[in-house]
């Protein structure tokens, strides 16, 4: 309720100055800063192939982050995404054992993703349960099924051309995953910022009761958002499985937190109601560039997570301080 009050400006700024002072500008500056730092600290950073390899650090997570951004803007969350990857990948592995071709494998992966999303959606929208509780439950459920099926074993023997999704290139250094990331970024940007559906998502996040009374079918929109998140987890499962060439029940473990981190770093309010796709894209770049740059310096993983934590706190604290400063000067 009070969200609406807070986001209501008491006077309008010029479009230029609001753009300059936006979160996206800040993230862009951070991304450029990291890029420049990296090019100075490692002689191997500025290389088209190396930069192309680096994109694999974030493409799969970012695909899920787009859908997750919409879900979080609407005031819900899905913590089961990494487990959906495990289940979808296990299903694809099982299908491959029965001789399924590449097209069937993709179909299986996406279908399992959508079904898992639908299951979450049913529990949240029809049964009216809180999404954080539901998806913590399904997080264990989906991965648990993978563990029952696979135990300590693994699925291998995917068809040769299946490797294209995670290891193929559409042209020069542009990998299939990077191209898909770009395409999905445009799709989600249009969906969130240019359609009635997108406006409904914002409205629901700001005030679900008001949204209901203004004729938005709140539960249906949320249902679709869970389906989309499940579908994107299925897409990520196809890419990750193809990149690894094998499936183990531990696939993608812990990825849900990185996805949520990406969304929050992208400026999406964890309380719902605000955020943008451009922010998420920039956050993906910032996270990818930073892990790759630190990796080139052989910085241990634990130090990397410290940097990421500091960056997250910094980027969240900075705009607060900034807006306080701006409101004082105006």
Partner 1 sequence: MRAMKKLLTSVAVATALISGTADAADKRIAIVVKALGIGFFEAAAKGAEEAAAELGDVEIIYTGPTDTTAEGQIEVINALIAQRVDAIAISANDTDALVPALKKAMSRGITVISWDSGVAAEGRSMHLNPSSNALIGNMIVKLAADHLPEGGDVAVLSATTTSTNQNIWIEEMNKVMGDYPGINVVGTVYGDDLADKSYREANGLMQTYPDLRAIIAPTSVGIVAAAQAVADAGKIGEVNVTGLGLPSEMAGAIESGASKSFAIWNPIDLGYSATMLAYNLSQGVAEAKPGAEIPMGRMGSLTLDDKNEGAMADPFVYDASNIEQFKSIF
Number of Cβ atoms within 10 Å of the Cβ of 44: 10
Applying CB under 8 A, does 40 fall inside the site for partner 1? yes
Cα separation of 66 and 24, whole Å? 15
| Choice between 85 and 114, CB closer to partner 1 | 85
Indicate whether 302 belongs to the interface with partner 1 (CB under 8 A): yes
Q: Please check whether residue 117 is in contact with residue 231, taking contact to mean a CB–CB distance below 8 angstroms.
A: yes
Q: In angstroms, what is the minimal distance from the CB of 57 to partner 1?
A: 6
- Among 37, 115, 244, 316, indicate the residue that binds partner 1 (CB under 8 A): 244
250 binds partner 1 (CB under 8 A): yes
Q: Where are the beta strands (DSSP E) in the chain?
A: 169-171, 174-175
Q: Is 125 in the site for partner 1 (CB under 8 A)?
A: no
Least distance (Å) from partner 1 to the CB of residue 41? 8
What span, in angstroms and rounded, lies between the C-alpha atoms of 183 and 190?
A: 11
Phi, psi of 98 (to 5 degrees): -90, 10
- Number of residues in contact with partner 1, rule: CB under 8 A? 40
Provide the minimum distance between the beta carbon of 78 and partner 1 in the complex, in angstroms, as a whole number: 20
By CB under 8 A, residue 309 contacts partner 1: no
| Contact call for residue 298 and partner 1 (CB under 8 A) | yes
Examine residue 56 and tell whether it contacts partner 1 (CB under 8 A). Answer: yes
Interaction of residue 285 with partner 1, rule CB under 8 A: no
Instruction: Give me the DSSP letters along 237-294.
Output: HHHHHHHHTSB-TTTTTTHHHHHHHHHHHTT--TTSS---HHHHHHHHHHHHHHHHHH
- Residue 151 makes contact with partner 1 by CB under 8 A: no
Q: Which helix (H) or strand (E) holds 117?
A: helix 102-121
Residue 3 or 50 having the CB closest to partner 1: 50
Token digits for 108? 């299986």
Secondary structure (3-state) at 170: strand
Residues that bind partner 1 (CB under 8 A): 40-45, 47, 49-50, 53-54, 56-57, 154, 156, 163, 166-167, 240, 243-246, 248, 250-255, 291-292, 295-296, 298, 300-302, 304-305
């Amino acid at each position: 309720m009070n969200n609406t009050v807070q986001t209501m400006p008491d006077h309008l700024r010029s479009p230029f100055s609001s753009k300059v002072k936006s979160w996206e500008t800040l993230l862009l500056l951070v991304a450029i800063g990291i890029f420049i730092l990296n090019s100075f600290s490692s002689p191997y950073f500025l290389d088209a192939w190396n930069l192309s390899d680096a994109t694999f650090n974030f493409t799969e997570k970012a695909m899920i982050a787009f859908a997750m951004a919409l879900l979080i803007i609407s005031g819900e969350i899905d913590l089961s995404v990494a487990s959906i990857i495990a289940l979808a990948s296990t299903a694809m592995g099982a299908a491959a054992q029965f001789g399924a071709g590449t097209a069937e494998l993709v179909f299986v992966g996406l279908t399992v993703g959508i079904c898992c999303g639908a299951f979450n959606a049913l529990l949240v929208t029809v049964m009216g349960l809180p999404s954080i509780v539901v998806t913590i439950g399904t997080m264990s459920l989906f991965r648990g099924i993978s563990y029952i099926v696979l135990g300590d074993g693994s699925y291998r023997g995917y068809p040769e051309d299946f490797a294209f999704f995670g290891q193929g290139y559409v042209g020069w250094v542009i990998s299939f995953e990077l191209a898909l990331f770009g395409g999905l970024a445009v799709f989600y940007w249009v969906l969130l910022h240019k359609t009635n559906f997108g406006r409904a998502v914002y409205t629901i996040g700001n005030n679900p009761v008001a949204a209901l009374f203004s004729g938005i079918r709140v539960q249906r929109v949320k249902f679709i958002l869970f389906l989309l998140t499940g579908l994107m987890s299925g897409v990520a499962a196809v890419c990750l499985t193809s990149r690894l060439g094998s499936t183990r029940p531990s696939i993608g473990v812990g990825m849900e937190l990185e996805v949520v981190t990406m969304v929050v770093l992208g400026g999406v309010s964890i309380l719902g109601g605000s955020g943008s796709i451009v922010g998420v894209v920039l956050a993906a770049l910032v996270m990818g560039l930073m892990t790759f740059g630190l990796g080139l310096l052989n910085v241990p993983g634990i130090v990397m997570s410290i940097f990421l934590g500091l960056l997250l706190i910094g980027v969240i604290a900075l705009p607060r301080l900034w807006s306080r400063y701006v409101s004082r000067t105006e």
